[in-house]
Amino acid sequence: MSDNKTIPYKIYLNENEIPSKWYNVRSDMKNKPAPLVNPGTGQPMGFDDLRPVFCDELIKQELDNDTPYFDIPQEIRDFYKMYRPSPLVRAYCLEEALGTPAKIYYKFEGNNTSGSHKLNSAIAQAYYAKKQGLRGITTETGAGQWGTALSMACAYLGLDLKVFMVKVSYEQKPFRREVMRTYGASVTPSPSMDTKIGKKINAEHPGTTGSLGCAISEAVEVATTNEGYRYVLGSVLNQVLLHQSIIGLETKAALDKYGIVPDMIIGCAGGGSNLGGLIAPFMGEKLRGEKDYRIIAVEPASCPSFTRGKYAYDFCDTGMVCPLAKMYTLGSNFIPSANHAGGLRYHGMSPILSQLYADGFMEARSVEQTSVFEAATQFARTEGILPAPESSHAIRAAIDEALLCKETGEEKTIVFGLTGTGYFDLVAYQKYNDGEMTDYIPTDEDLEKSLALLPNIG
């Protein structure tokens, strides 16, 4: 490598180039995402139906399928300046190690203490709660990235935060819990004995180690039964994808600076918050017929909602207290096999991405976790950054595409989302280092069983 590279290793925007508006990809979708519906009546939920659960301003964002841009309030932009713009990195060292003619770029969202992109929506949601004069907010967290991000945002704004953390994570990831506590959040293992639904789940499943679906139910119950509290969610929802569009807007601005046009954009997909944000402006161009890009969602083979799920209305939580969403789903009681190490374990997928996928605007593929950690290790050793297991799904696909270019000799430009760092995922890395990591793909029978419980709506 030499100094005469025309593209720097890291493309940084200036602070005043941080986008001043979020982009709402729904405004360019001909087929809008299906609305949230009331599980009792089967009717779409309106503003008033959602008010007991969500903050007012966030409901407006959730329901607005038409406004193309939303101003980012100055206070949120100030917070963004503490860790944004995030760098778009040219993976020179990885390209060299692979011997590929492909040009690989990644948008790195891990340079903040939450260790992921989740902070982009956390500060927005906390801000609107504060503006509404609320005392606090409640949420759930699994791997802990979302809970950490929200605790940082709430500490900054002086807002109370109650986090329900999936019990197995609470016990296995004490350090994540401790970061949240350092930022002043209260963290309760879920299912707890503090809520009706928690008691019920504990009674029905003694010794359960919990699930995201349970924790959501508990957080919603606490938000709706305590004065001055609302519930917030870190993925899946339209509002979250709106906030996360900042990832894609910055990525596009950085690429435009150097006249780079990507051939494909790759992101990992759990609930869809990172992928939806990363691809937003590119998808907009595609939807408007201005440009074409391959857009690839990568999910774990052990939790394959896009590639093996059903596009249907389903419950968002185990307790069935939340609205129903139409999405690619594996069934609300689907839980990935115990050997699954990373995040991306939610049973459903963002309604926006689900509609785009159903309409053929994007591809999806699933990858197995040992191959994901192989890619993660190769990436760490060449590019320096120890990636989150979630992000490493995108790395796997990017490497696979780059190796394909090596075979064909094509100089394709690949952009992927490096959503975060793996500093709190060393138990999984240890398993991989010790050769003890295994793969598990759910059988057709597994999926039939969990999909049998879909509600009969839509």
Fill in the per-residue mask, 370 to 399: x = in contact with its own copies (CB under 8 A), - = not in contact.
-------x--xxxxxxx-------------
Nearest approach, Cβ of residue 51 and its own copies (Å): 30
How buried is 203 (Cβ within 10 angstroms: 0-12 exposed, 13-18 middle, 19+ buried)? Answer: exposed
Nearest approach, Cβ of residue 113 and its own copies (Å): 4
Q: Is 141 in the site for its own copies (CB under 8 A)?
A: no
Q: What are phi and psi of 310, to 5 degrees?
A: -115, 140
Q: Is 74 in the site for its own copies (CB under 8 A)?
A: yes
Cβ neighbours of residue 92 closer than 8 Å, sequence gap 6 or more: 1, 5, 9
Q: How many CB atoms lie within 10 A of CB 326?
A: 21
Scanning 51-59, 173-181, 359-367, 445-453 for contacts with its own copies by CB under 8 A, the matching segment is 173-181
Q: Is 225 in the site for its own copies (CB under 8 A)?
A: no
The residue (of 8 and 44) whose beta carbon lies closer to its own copies is 8
Binders of its own copies in range 98-117 (CB under 8 A):
111-113, 115
Cis peptide before 191 (omega within 30 of 0): yes
Nearest approach, Cβ of residue 170 and its own copies (Å): 13
Q: Select the residue interacting with its own copies from 183, 229, 313, 328 (CB under 8 A).
A: 183
Distances (CA, A) of 48 to 51, 80, 237, 272: 5, 31, 17, 26
Q: Residue 129 in 3-state DSSP?
A: helix
CA gap 65, 25 in Å, rounded = 8
Outline where 99-232 has alpha helix (H). 119-131, 145-157, 167-172, 174-182, 196-204, 212-225
Q: Residue 440 in 3-state DSSP?
A: coil
The residue (of 174 and 289) whose beta carbon lies closer to its own copies is 174
Q: Select the residue interacting with its own copies from 433, 438, 441, 453 (CB under 8 A).
A: 433
Nearest approach, Cβ of residue 400 and its own copies (Å): 21
User: Applying CB under 8 A, which residues contact its own copies?
Assistant: 1-3, 8-10, 12, 14-16, 74-75, 77-78, 81-83, 93, 111-113, 115, 152, 155-156, 174-175, 178-179, 181-184, 377, 380-386, 421, 423-424, 426-427, 429-430, 433
